[in-house]
Structures are given as structure tokens and as C-alpha cells.
A and B are shown apart, each in its own frame.
Chain A
């Protein structure tokens, strides 16, 4: 248990948001070098650590703050407005820290026992295979899209348990860096700075405590809650945690709209002020309103979910599907807002190296994330509502 002393040093939501706002301008300055290096600069990681931005949902025992997912999302959104790639790493590393906190206590001790600053990368697509042996599994897998892996000492891998004919999963397996070979294949048109490289694990032994049951985690049930009692550790994996992607997309769109406004204010075309045109003014309003709507939608729905979890209740399948739908819809609104502003910026922003073009490319990549695909989220929800599995959602809580 945390001592009183530790508890009193827990920063408030407002304090954490201020820290993120303070760091944001430096992310902007490093955005170009981050993209060129295809990984987040070490200074940025150091700043995240110093500000505690990756410990938002870590247990107090390990110097974490045990804050809600909404706070994590608000911070990601602030950072993403400056640089989508660097924000991505804050968001996913903070997310994975929460996830390790849902593993059995021994696994948490393996990762953070000596160093509370250890970072964790992941690759959830269940391509790995675990063969049961005495005390655990022999695990092999080739995994992709492991954002920030260069800075991480542990890795969460998705996979199935394969026992002869039996196939069970998908589950999550935690492996240390020494069991992992990184493949530098991250050459992409978007989010290049996330350094989301592939990695391979070959016949590594994974002890039984470095395992998380996937289907149960998706319901918010996990062995970590035995010691980590805060509601954030009962957050259903996927359905609710993926709101972090909406936060990134909304943040990037907000950054694009703000940058576009600053770019457009003094801009002239053939001597005529662009900003004086009513059509431009309505573009500013429409994109701004779409971003506000996107934020209100995913955050309001997320806070509704948190309220249910804090009351000790579980989310229904319909509530999970609605949260997923709203996160995906927030991404759609963000993409519309960003595209409208970018299309109205003219040819000069097409040149490589312009912050608007980089952030717009980053937004395209964020919205293409498989967890945020609108048509999938929409048909899942639509089928449930049509089959009468619940009523349309009635309300939301936009306030923190």
C-alpha cells in the first residue's frame, strides 16, 4: 500500500494537464527530427518520465498516479496537437503500464521491482503461439507495429495457447527485451516517428505469471485487481482502452485546425485576404465544431463508462459497443475536420517538412488504426440495436 507520503504527492488532473501543456511546444520543435529518425527522441522520453506522463495509470506502489482513463486521454490529446508520433508513445506506454498492472502481481514486480521508469511496448495482434510446459509456456511469434519498442524493456505479445489440437485465446504474454529481436521495418508515410517496428520471439520460456487472459481482460476482469483496487484497473481492454486512439486522432485534428488558422490569418491569394472570405470563416467554424464534437463524444462516453466502473458495476455488451462506436465516430469527425482544413490550405503546405502536412499524414495513419475502423464498429453496434439487445444510449457526462 502507498504510504500517506506517496499519496500526497499524487498530482491532480489539472496539474498533469499543465505539465503536458508545458512539454507540448518542445514536441513541436522535435517533430521533424523525430520523423527523420523514425523514433521518439530520447529527450522527449526523459521529459515524459520527469513529468510522470507515462505513470498516469500506474499503481501508487510503483510511483504511479492511478488516474482515470479520461485523464490519460486528455493528456494524449494535448501532446498530439503538437506531434502525433511523440504523443502516440506517451499514450501507448501509459496504456501498457496500466495493462501490466492487470497482470499477476509477480509480473508487475518483474517489470517494476527495481525501476519504476521501465517502459513496455506491445503487439496485440494474436500471431504468437504458446506451447504449455512445466511452470509456463514456450512462446514464439513474429509481431508487428510495436510502437516505441526501442525505448522499452518489456513487451506484451498477443497469441494463442496451442496444446496439441487445442487452441485457446487470444491471450497476452509478457516477455523481456532479451527474448526479442527487433526488425527495423518501420518505413511509413504516417506516424514514422512512432518507431513501430516488428519484433520476433523464438522459443522463449514465459512463466505462468506473465500471462493475461484475453477474453477476461476484455471484460475488465484480471488478476492485477487483487492488489490494484482503483477503478481504472477494471477498464475493459479494447472496448474502453482504445479510446486512447480517439484521443490521439482528436488531438492531431485540433492541432491541424489551430495551425491552419494561424497559417490562414495573414494569408493572401492574388492580393486578397483569404481570412476575409466568408467561405473560409465557415470552414474554420465547421472544422472547429467537428473537433469539439469529437472530443465531447468520446470523452463524455468514456466518463459515463468510468462512472459505471467506479460504482463497482460492469459494462454491458451494448455499452461497450456504444463506446467503441463513439470512439470510431470521433475519429471520423476528426478526419473530416483535418481534411477540410488541409484542403483549404493551398499548395504551399504540400511541401515536405511543413508541420501541417506532417500532422495531416499522422492523422491519416491514426484514423486507419484497425481498432478505430468506422464500418466495423458501426455494423457491430447496428446489429445489436436491430436485434433489440438494448436501447439507444440516452445521455452522457461531459464534465470531468
Chain B
């Protein structure tokens, strides 16, 4: 990462190698806390402390606010390492870091509202645009009931998806930024997967949102958020949706790696009726197939990021087809990771079904991650196919 423009608030420069080494160091602790996270339906406070100390949530935060302005590639590498240890805890690292990147694309005043006093403030989100903001003098009166706000218990600000609505006129979608005082958390996160993410619902009732705490999602999708005027690093021009969904691929691939690691440890000494399972050729091929699927998934989504970063650094924009191809490949990487995890879990036998084991927890987490609506294969596949199969003149 370039250091030339580091400003006074920036901490010491951290390299990719540093941050990856820190993630590797923290990972075993996530594994130790995985059962606790699941039981509490919330990431342990010790993990949030670890993340803060290691700077794992400030990777993409602006240097002005103690961040590192690193690329999406390093974020994904870190997330993948953490997700192999515990999908739920990694989820929070990934999304809080991603939300810091979004905030950095909001108008500068909004960034100041959040980070001026404390660079460690975390932000949760709920992007589904179910909220409504009615224009009033200087801003909007906002109401909405939002689901799936991962990590909300640790967050002081919240990004909500919604529309601006004046009478019959509807404009959007927009992101609205609200402080914790405007939010009522609803503890409804009782799930079979990713329980430790604590992705609870919340409600906002008639809260005032000043104009500068809104972001036009259409601009965010194009990588043209108003924050890019002050935050000039290429990472802030990342098109929302097309490229940023690689974070879900990083989580999914990481969890599949975790399942593979657990499965190998579990299978190497395993015997069935006295016969070593690992000596069977079918089991050896299964290991190869799953591992090759995971590696293919990793390299497929990672290639998207590397290509995207090159384009962003060169100041180039993305065509509709390029973005659709990126989304398609993210969806496919997640599908490969799920297939790998399923193949392994199905070959682990009945004892692996018992609750409380890392493998069954990680496999459930993987199922949940692969169900995320942003990476749904059929949706992404069909939308790519529609573009590529359209008569040439219209693409």
C-alpha cells in the first residue's frame, strides 16, 4: 500500500504480511471461542478486542481515522484465514471492515460524526431497502424495521437501506446512517447457522437523519460515493455489489477450508470396522476433489479482486458485463465451496453429526453463508446469461 499520503492520524504503516500474520495468530483463539460465540449468539468481547488490537477492522478505514486504506484483496485474505477457524466471528470482522469502507464513501461530515472522537467505532448495517425517509428541512424523518444486522451489539452506528419518499414520489435506494440512540434492537437471531454473528433485527421510529448522513446507492454501485473526494485511494471507488460481494466468497471459501482441515484431522486416524478409512482410494480422491474445488473457488474469486484493483488503480470503469461476470464468479466460487464442504461432511460418518464439534458447526455455518441472497447462484447465473446471450448490438 502506498504510504505517501499518510496523514497525522495514521498509525504506523502496516504491510500485507503483517496483517496476515496477525490474522494467523488470532485464528486459533477464534477456534477456542467458537462454541461460546454460538451459545451466546454473539461474538465474544475478547474477539472484538483482538480485532481492534490487531487493526483487523481498520484495514480499509481512511488513514485520517487511524486506518490503513488497504485493498479488498488483503481484506479477503484475512477474512478467509479467520473464517477457517470460525465462520461467525470472521463474519463480523469482514462486515465491520466492509462497513467502514462504505462509511468512507459517505459525505465527509458523516465520517466525522462517526470517527472524529474514536477511531474504533464499529458500524452495523442492514442493506435491504425496507426503510422510508420523509424529506424535512435539512434531512429526513426515517423509519424502518430491518433484519440481519450482524454484530449490531458492538456497533454504535448503523447503515440502513431505504427509499426517500415524498407523497407518491419515491427515490432510491439510499443508505441512511443512524446512531445507536435511534435504534431499538430486537433479539430474534435464533438460527441453525452463523448463530455467533448475532445478526439481530432492529427498528427505527421517526428518527431525524441529516442530509449528509445519506448515500445514494446508485452512486455507491458505481464507486462514486461523495466520500471519494476526500478518500482518494482506489479501494473507495470499488463498485458496491459487483466487487464487494467477493467478501462473502472469502467467508464461504474460508469456512470450506475449515471443514477440510477438520475433516483431514478427523479422517486420518479414523477406522471403520477396523479398516483405516484414509487408506481407501475413494477417500483419497474425495480429499483431492474437495481440496481442488476449494482452491479453484479461492483463485476464481481472488482473480476478480486482482483484476478489479488493477482497473481501479488505472482509473478505469467497469462494464455491465464485467460486473455481471464478477458476480457470477463469486456465486460460482461459493457454490464450489459448498459442494466441497458437503462432499467432506457427507463422508465423515454419523459421529460427526453430534453437536458441539467444530466440523458440524463449520458445515452449518457454511450452509448459512452459501444461502446469502447476494451470492445466489441461480440469480447471478441468469443475470449474467441474459447479458451474454442478448443479441450483440444490445450489449
Q: Which residues of A contact B (CB under 8 A)?
A: 261, 264-266, 275, 278, 280-286, 288-290, 292-294, 296-297, 299-301, 322, 325-326, 329-330, 333, 375, 377-379, 381-383, 385-388, 392-396, 398-399
Question: Are A326 and B295 within 8 A (Cβ)?
Answer: yes
Top 4 closest pairs, chain A to chain B, by CB: A281-B385, A382-B284, A285-B381, A289-B332
B309: nearest chain-A partner, CB-CB = A399
Q: Are A297 and B295 in contact (CB under 8 A)?
A: yes
Inter-chain contacts of A286 with B (CB < 8 A): 332, 381
Given A379-B284, A392-B264, A394-B257: 12 more A-B contacts, CB < 8 Å: A285-B384, A285-B388, A289-B381, A292-B329, A296-B296, A299-B299, A301-B299, A378-B284, A387-B278, A396-B299, A396-B302, A398-B306
List, in ascending order, chain A residues with CB within 8 A of B296's CB.
293-294, 296-297, 326, 329-330, 333
B205 proximal to A (CB < 8 A): no
Contact partner of A300 (CB less than 8 A), chosen from B293, B299, B385, is B299
Report the Cα distance A333→B289, complex, angstroms: 11
A265 touches B389 (CB 8 A): yes
B389 near A284 with CB under 8 A, answer yes
Q: Which residues of B contact A285 (CB under 8 A)?
A: 328, 332, 380-382, 384-385, 388
Cross-interface CB contact of B287 among A261, A293, A330, A386, cutoff 8 Å: A386
Which residue on B lies nearest to A384, using beta carbons? B284
A286-B332, A292-B329, A375-B285 known; A393-B291 Cβ under 8 A: yes
Q: Which residue of B lies closest to A261 (CB)?
A: B388
Q: Which residues of A contact B279 (CB under 8 A)?
A: 386
Determine the chain A residues whose CB is within 8 A of the CB of B310 once the complex forms: 399
Nearest chain B CB to A359's CB is how many angstroms away? 19
> Looking at the complex, which one of A264, A301, A377 makes contact with B288 (CB distance below 8 Å)?
A377
* Inter-subunit contact A264/B261 (CB<8 Å): no
Q: CA of A383 to CA of B268 in the docked complex: distance in angstroms?
A: 10
A387–B295 alpha-carbon span in the complex (Å)? 20
Contact A325 B390 (CB under 8 A): no
Given the complex of chains A and B, what is the CA–CA distance between A156 and B344 in angstroms? 43
Instruction: Give Cα distance in the complex from A284 to B332, angstroms.
Output: 12
B76 to chain A, nearest CB (A): 11
Q: Quick check: B390 and A296 within 8 Å, CB to CB?
A: no
B300: chain A residues within 8 A (beta carbon) = 289, 292-293, 296-297
Task: Flag if B390 contacts A265 (CB, 8 Å).
Answer: yes
B window 87-118: CB within 8 A of A: none
Whole-angstrom distance between the Cβ of A286 and the nearest chain B Cβ: 6
Docked complex Cα distance between A384 and B286 (Å): 13
- When C-beta atoms are compared, the residue in chain A nearest to B292 turns out to be A329
**A336 CA to B284 CA in the complex, in Å?**
22
Would B382 and A325 count as touching, CB distance under 8 A?
no
Question: A-B pairs with CB below 8 Å: how many?
Answer: 158
Q: Residue B244 at the A interface, CB < 8 A?
A: no
Interface residues of B (CB under 8 A from A): 77, 257, 260-261, 264, 267-268, 278-279, 281, 283-289, 291-300, 302-303, 306, 310, 325, 328-329, 331-333, 336, 378, 380-386, 388-392
- In the assembly, what is the distance between CA of A383 and CA of B297, in Å? 23
- Can you list 13 A-B pairs with a CB-CB distance of less than 8 A? A281-B384, A284-B384, A292-B300, A292-B329, A293-B336, A297-B295, A299-B299, A301-B295, A329-B293, A381-B287, A386-B268, A386-B278, A394-B257
Are B303 and A292 touching (Cβ within 8 A)? Answer: yes
- Is the beta-carbon distance between B336 and A281 smaller than 8 angstroms? no
Q: Is the CB of B295 within 8 A of A385?
A: no
Residues of A within 8 A of B288 (CB): 325, 329, 377-379, 381-382, 385
Q: A275-B389, A378-B285, A392-B291 are in contact. Are A300 and B329 (CB under 8 A)?
A: no
Chain B residue with minimal CB distance to A382? B284
Bound CA–CA A329/B302 (angstroms):
18
* Pairwise interchain contact A281-B386, C-beta atoms closer than 8 A: yes
Q: A266-B391, A275-B389 are in contact. Are A300 and B303 (CB under 8 A)?
A: yes
Contacting residue for B292 out of A261, A326, A375, CB 8 A: A326
Q: Known interface pairs A290-B332, A379-B288. Does A282 touch B295 (Cβ–Cβ under 8 Å)? A: no
Whether A282 lies near B285 (C-beta < 8 A) is no
- The answer to whether A265 touches B299 (Cβ under 8 A) is no
CA distance A288 to B325 in the complex (A): 9
| Cβ distance A85 to chain B, nearest Cβ, rounded Å | 27
- Asked whether, in the complex, the Cβ of B295 is within 8 Å of the Cβ of A264, the reply is no
Question: Once the chains are docked, how many angstroms separate the CA of A282 from the CA of B379?
Answer: 9
B382 touches A282 (CB 8 A): yes
Q: How many whole Å from B149's CB to the nearest CB in chain A?
A: 31
Option from B284, B329, B331, B333 in Cβ contact (under 8 Å) with A383: B284
Instruction: Write the nearest CB–CB distance from A170 to chain B, whole angstroms.
Output: 25
Q: How long is the Cα–Cα vector from A97 to B54 in the complex, in angstroms?
A: 50
CB <8 Å contact, B385 and A379: no
Q: With CB as the reference atom, state the residue of chain A lying closest to B287.
A: A382
B329 to chain A, nearest CB (A): 6
Q: A96 CA to B161 CA in the complex, in Å?
A: 59
Shortest beta-carbon distance from B104 to chain A in Å: 25
A383 to chain B, nearest CB (A): 5
Check if A398 sits within 8 Å of B302, measured CB to CB: yes
**Contacting residues, chain A, for B261 (C-beta < 8 A):** 392
Contact across chains for B283 and A288 when beta carbons are under 8 A apart: no
What separation, in Å, do the CA atoms of A155 and B332 have in the docked complex? 43
Report the minimal beta-carbon distance from A341 to chain B, rounded to whole angstroms.
Answer: 12
Closest chain A residue to B386, Cβ basis: A281
Complexed CA–CA distance, A399 and B295 (Å): 15
Q: Which of A265, A280, A290, A293 contacts B392 (CB 8 A)?
A: A265
Partner pick for B281 among A294, A300, A379, CB 8 A cutoff: A379
B385 touches A296 (CB 8 A): no
